[in-house]
Structure formats: C-alpha cells, structure tokens
Structure 1
Amino acid sequence: MSIPFNKKYKLERSENFDDFLKELGVNYLIRKMAGSTTSTVELVKEGDNDYSFNTTSTFRSQSIKFQPGVEFTEKRMDGQEIPCVITFDENKMIQEQKGDKIVTLIREFTDEELFLTCKVGNVEAKRWFKAC
C-alpha cells in the first residue's frame, strides 16, 4: 500500500506520550498542554520530490517542508532547531531528528488511520489518528 497524500488525520488517543516528552526534557506545563491538545495532521505532495507535513492544533501549528532522504533543519514544536531526515518505506513515513537525543517518528498510513510510534532512548510512545 502507498501513502495517501492530501488526507487529514485527527488525533484520537495517545499512550505513554507524557513519558516520551519527559525523556526529551520538555517541561511539565508544556507536556500537560501537549498531552491534552488534539491535533490534525496532513502529508501533502507539493511536486515531484517535494513534500510538506502539516500539523494544526489549538496550541500551535507547524509545516515541515522536505525532500525524502535530504537532511534539513527542523524547528520542533518546542522551538528547538535540529537536523532532520525523512524517508518513505511503502506506507510509512520515517522521521529521524538528530538533536541532543536521537528521536525516531514512524508514521504508518492507511486510508482510514494513521499510527505514530515515537521513540527516544528506551522510551516509546504511540499515537492513533483517524481520517477526517
């Protein structure tokens, strides 16, 4: 299966997300706001090899523009700028952030759902999104 582009997914639930943010060093107040915020995400194909991944929430919105396999500087939701690489593997979008700690975000797309696995150190969080 390939990735369905230009489709929006809304966050339904999370597991262990607070521990993931804590491992990243995110302060308590921001962790609580992030954990209670519902976000909508969309992967958009902009051209032959140009993409954007858009996140919209009541807390903050962000658009990441990238080319698969090409390192770029990402400004994370916490404001930190870090080197990042995004690749595709069948229906998965794999994002590696190379800040103080290596963070891996694996997004697995279907027509109806998006499943996100967030890894940093020995901590793993899971987030489930539904197509909207």
Structure 2
Amino acid sequence: MVEAFCATWKLVDNKNFDDYMKALGIPFASRQVGNATKTTVIISSDGERVMLRTLSTFRNTECIAKLGEEFDEVTPDDRHVKSTFTMEGDKFVHTQKWDGKETKLIREIKNGKMVMTLTFEGVTAVRTYEKVERRTSFIQGK
C-alpha cells in the first residue's frame, strides 16, 4: 500500500533528468534550474486520500487525490495535466496526461530509498531519494 511511501524524502541522485525534461519540451534555462534543484518530496495519506508535496527553492506543488481517481494538476514546469495515483503491486505510480501525451512517474522502495523512474516517449530518468522522516497522515490545508 501507499503507506510504505509515507515519509519526507530528500533528493540525493539524478540520472538522465535533463534528457527527460528536454523530451517534455522544457526550455534550456528551466532545465538548468531543474537539474540544480534538490527537491524534497512529502508523501502522506489520511487513509482515503494521498497527498504528494514537492518542495524546492524553485517551486512548491501539492496534489491530493484518492487512488485511482483522476485529478487536475499543474506541474512544476507549468503543464496542465490530468493525473492519477495508483498502486501497481509495490509501486506507487503517478500518471500525467495532456495533449494526447503521457508520462509516468513510478516510485519504488529499494534498500530503504525511494527510487522514482520517469518515462516519456522512450526517455527514462531516475531520481533517488533518502528518507528524512516518517509520515503517516496529513491535515487538509497544512
């Protein structure tokens, strides 16, 4: 279940993220910021909904949704997408769709770290996070 991912995670490694952002059409200057930014991801759940917060010096985002239910999301690079959170086995999958396109952000726990594999049109990036603290629930609006 998603509870295995409920924690605060700090980015510690990035592989091929620039090529992934380039495939998405993100301009050079924004990619430079994206590559240099060390994000913190906070995942929590209230039993019914999942909250995913991404914090950085560049931009903060927050998504709250039930597993399997589509929701509107504005990504850090300002894409307006239809997103869905699902669990596929022990993987927490975040699917984003827009303009006939789709990207998947697949999170797995490996050796105590959260490994996120991002795929778009044949390009794959991997971002690895270390756990900072455990979280189990959230309060709406906080």
Q: TM-score, normalised by structure 1?
A: 0.91
Q: Which residue of 2 aligns with 1:52?
A: 51
Count of residue pairs brought into register by the alignment: 131
Q: Deviation per CA, 1:41-99: give whole Å up to 9, x if none.
A: 111102x3111001111111111111100011111111221111110134321011111
Pairing 1:67–2:58 present: no
Match of 2:139 in 1: none
Distance (Å, rounded) in 1 between the aligned partners of 2:24 and 2:2: 31
Could you say which residue in structure 2 is the equivalent of 1:12?
Answer: 12
CA distance in 2, matches of 1:85, 1:26: 22
Return the letter of the residue paired with 1:37. Answer: T
Q: Aligned equivalents of 1:6 and 1:25: distance in 2?
A: 31
Secondary structure of 1:43 counterpart: strand
Q: What residue in structure 2 maps to residue 119 of structure 1? A: 119
CA RMSD, aligned part only?
A: 1.7
Letter in 1 for 2:18: D
- Per the alignment, residue 103 of structure 1 pairs with 103
**CA shift for structure 1 position 112:** 2.6
Matches within 5 A, 1:82-97: 82-97=81-96
Partner of 2:34: 34
Q: Which shifted more, 95-104 or 119-128?
A: 95-104
Asked if the contact 2:5/2:109 (under 8 Å) is kept, the reply is no
User: Once the 2 structures are TM-superposed, how far is the Cα of residue 6 of structure 1 from its aligned partner?
Assistant: 3.7
Corresponding residue SS for 2:84? strand
Q: Give the percent of matched residue pairs that are identical in Structure 1 and Structure 2.
A: 30
Q: Structure 2: how far apart are the matches of 1:99 and 1:10? A: 28
CA deviation map 1:20-51 (0-9, x unaligned): 000000000000000000011111102x3111
> Partner residue of 1:76?
75
Residues in 2 aligned to 1:109 and 1:99: alpha-carbon distance in whole angstroms:
28
- Where do 5+ consecutive residues of structure 1 fail to align? none
8 A Cα contact 2:20 2:125, kept in partner: yes
Give the counterpart letter for 2:130 in structure 1. Answer: K
- How much does 1:5 deviate? 4.8
Amino acid at match of 2:8: K
